[in-house]
Amino acid sequence: MKPELAGKNLRLTTMERQAINLINGQHLTHAQAADIVGVTRTAFTKRVCRAQMKIKRLRLVVAELGGDASDFDRLAGLRRGEGVN
């Protein structure tokens, strides 16, 4: 992977990874997941939206620079099976 990605702030936070996992990996609704993490549904939905926007941008950047799925996972801060579709 090329060093141009080093300065990009595309890595998912722990809370964003958790949100994506609860929605995609555990198949919970936003309301169910919000209850689990102890925030309002609105706050949880915003967290999911931020994570989804980062994922979209990161996929574009990785593809543009000739990276592959392992580069995407590493740069997003994901581990295999965390539920990012």
For residue 83, tell me if it sits in a domain: no
Measure the CA–CA gap between 43 and 73, rounded to whole angstroms: 25
- pLDDT tens readout for residues 35-49: 999 999 999 999 999
CATH number of 18's domain: 1.10.10.10
* pTM, full prediction: 0.72
For residue 38, tell me if it sits in a domain: yes
Domain residues for 52?
10-76
- pLDDT tens readout for residues 6-25: 445 567 888 998 999 999 88
